[in-house]
């Protein structure tokens, strides 16, 4: 009874932050894009953030989006979907304003153990899926719950398709999310929060759990991103960190085949023939030079499909040109995209926070959708306050809420 009262008390201390964590496992569920849990989290995040309009980032975002559309209309025959392009430009602007702003909720009363408990739950769920899959039992969320219910990459869709055609199915665990890499992205969010809000022993548990989740789900994106934020957090202890990070990487690589749904996937990744890795890393890097040379102001995201197919550059795809939202900003805005990334790095505060933002954007092809903006802003707010509080405790001075480094350009007053 006392434990239950303690849980209720911590929730009431900051209902917004703890409520976000409770809704996070269902972030991909909904009837459509605007009637979804992601839209609710996005609204909650903006409502509980004191936005700070920025002149330079706002101007660069609007000019980049406008020039991309004008160049496409004048030089290319591909037709973009204007409502979505406008939404993406607005999302980029709001991301700048929210990252530069300050939280309106009681961020000092956030309890990092909630993030650790959620990480434990995801690890147990993914492990249960893996064990059930070995016995031919599908413990996957039905595809009708997801916003993108027609997407055949959903785990439930693969299982149903296999059963209809009478052959064995083999799907990597993804907990309650659409794909293993999305599970890796959520584990990155929770791990990054735990690193900055928990004690040393609890941080170690969180790191082990985050890596274990990624190993069970066999998501190489999740492994790499979690190891990178772990390294950035412990950067001051560099010699010990190198040995520890290398040891964990070796252990994870040896453990992956034990959980492999696709036993030859590591070989396919190393040979460059793995589809997921190719869409996230190899193909974008190969084609970015072509886009910058032939479309210097970029190709609008909603016209990218016809652009790449018309030029016989890649095989047909459905949504984003590649499954790397960070590089998709360069494809969408051309040379202006580099300026946007620089400004985004500075507004995020540089260092590990900016690294986290870039890693989470690279999780899939949609960097500016409701779910990504909500997770980025929520996590950066929690981590900034925890870092400043820790610095204040070490120096003996009262903590002052951190602001991003914006000394190189002017900003408007706080709303």
Residue 134 burial by Cβ neighbours in a 10 Å radius (0-12, 13-18, 19+): exposed
d(Cα 186, Cα 177) in Å, to the nearest integer? 9
pLDDT in the model for residue 75: 84
DSSP SS3 for 269:
helix
pLDDT in the model for residue 290: 85
Q: Identify which of 34-43, 170-179, 360-369 has the greatest average pLDDT.
A: 34-43
Q: Please, are residues 395 and 39 in contact by the beta-carbon 8 Å criterion?
A: no
Q: Each residue of 238-264: pLDDT tens digit? A: 555 555 555 555 555 555 555 454 555
Q: Please, are residues 364 and 328 in contact by the beta-carbon 8 Å criterion?
A: no
Tell me the two tokens of residue 130.
């893996």
Q: What is the pTM of this model?
A: 0.85
| Section 261-274 average pLDDT | 53
pLDDT band at 187, cuts 50/70/90? very high
Q: How does the average pLDDT of the chain come out, rounded? A: 81
pLDDT in the model for residue 387: 85
**DSSP result, 23-40:** HGGGTTBBSSSSSBHHHH
Q: Each residue of 95-115: pLDDT tens digit? A: 999 999 999 999 999 999 999
CA–CA–CA angle 148, 153, 158 (5° rounding): 115
Helices (H), 302-403: 304-310, 325-333, 336-347, 351-361, 370-395
d(Cα 393, Cα 340) in Å, to the nearest integer? 35
pLDDT in the model for residue 388: 83
pLDDT band at 407, cuts 50/70/90? very low
Q: Please, are residues 32 and 145 in contact by the beta-carbon 8 Å criterion?
A: no
> How far, in whole angstroms, is CA 346 from its chain's centroid?
18
d(Cα 40, Cα 29) in Å, to the nearest integer? 11
pLDDT in the model for residue 382: 95
pLDDT in the model for residue 195: 94
**Range with the lowest mean pLDDT among 58-72, 180-194, 296-310?**
296-310
Instruction: Compute the chain's Rg from CA coordinates.
Output: 21
pLDDT in the model for residue 410: 42
Q: Identify which of 94-103, 232-241, 292-301 has the greatest average pLDDT.
A: 94-103
CA–CA–CA angle 157, 159, 160 (5° rounding): 65
| Distance, first Cα to last Cα, the chain | 43
| Section 141-157 average pLDDT | 77
pLDDT band at 219, cuts 50/70/90? confident
pLDDT in the model for residue 132: 87
Rounded to 5 degrees, φ, ψ at 36 are: -150, 165
| Section 220-227 average pLDDT | 88
Q: Please, are residues 137 and 173 in contact by the beta-carbon 8 Å criterion?
A: no
């Amino acid at each position: 009874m006392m434990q239950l009262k303690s849980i209720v008390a911590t929730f009431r201390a900051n209902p917004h932050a703890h409520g976000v964590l409770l809704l996070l496992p269902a972030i991909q569920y909904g009837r459509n894009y605007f009637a979804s849990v992601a839209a609710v989290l996005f609204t909650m995040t903006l409502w509980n953030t004191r936005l700070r309009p920025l002149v330079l980032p706002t101007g660069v975002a609007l000019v980049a989006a406008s020039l991309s559309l004008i160049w496409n209309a004048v030089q290319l025959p591909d037709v973009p979907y204007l409502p979505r392009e406008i939404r993406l430009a607005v999302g980029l602007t709001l991301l700048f304003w929210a990252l530069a702003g300050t939280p309106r909720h009681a961020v000092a009363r956030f309890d990092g153990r909630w993030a650790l408990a959620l990480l434990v739950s995801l690890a147990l769920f993914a492990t249960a899926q893996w064990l059930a899959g070995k016995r031919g039992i599908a413990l996957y969320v039905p595809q009708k719950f997801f916003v993108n219910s027609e997407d055949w990459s959903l785990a439930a869709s693969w299982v149903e398709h296999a059963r209809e055609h009478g052959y064995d199915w083999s799907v990597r665990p993804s907990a309650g999310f659409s794909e293993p890499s999305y599970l890796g992205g959520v584990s990155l969010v929770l791990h990054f929060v735990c690193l900055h809000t928990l004690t040393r022993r609890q941080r170690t548990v969180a790191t082990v759990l985050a890596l274990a989740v990624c190993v069970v789900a066999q998501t190489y994106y999740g492994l790499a991103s979690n190891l990178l934020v772990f390294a950035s957090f412990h950067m001051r202890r560099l010699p010990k960190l190198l040995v520890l990070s290398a040891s964990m990487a070796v252990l994870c690589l040896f453990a992956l085949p034990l959980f492999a749904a696709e036993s030859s996937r590591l070989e396919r990744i190393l040979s460059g023939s793995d589809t997921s890795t190719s869409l996230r890393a190899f193909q974008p890097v190969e084609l970015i030079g072509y886009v910058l040379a032939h479309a210097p102001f970029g190709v609008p995201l909603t016209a990218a499909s016809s652009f790449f197919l018309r030029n016989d550059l890649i095989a047909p795809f459905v949504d984003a040109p590649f499954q790397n939202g960070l590089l998709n900003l360069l494809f969408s805005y051309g040379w202006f995209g580099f300026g946007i990334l620089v400004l985004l790095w500075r507004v995020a505060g540089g260092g590990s926070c900016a690294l986290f933002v870039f890693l989470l954007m690279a999780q899939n092809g949609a960097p500016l959708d409701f779910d990504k903006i909500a997770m980025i802003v929520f996590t950066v707010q929690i981590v900034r306050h925890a870092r400043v509080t820790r610095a204040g405790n070490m120096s003996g001075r009262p903590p002052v809420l951190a602001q991003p480094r914006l000394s190189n350009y002017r900003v408007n007053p706080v709303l």
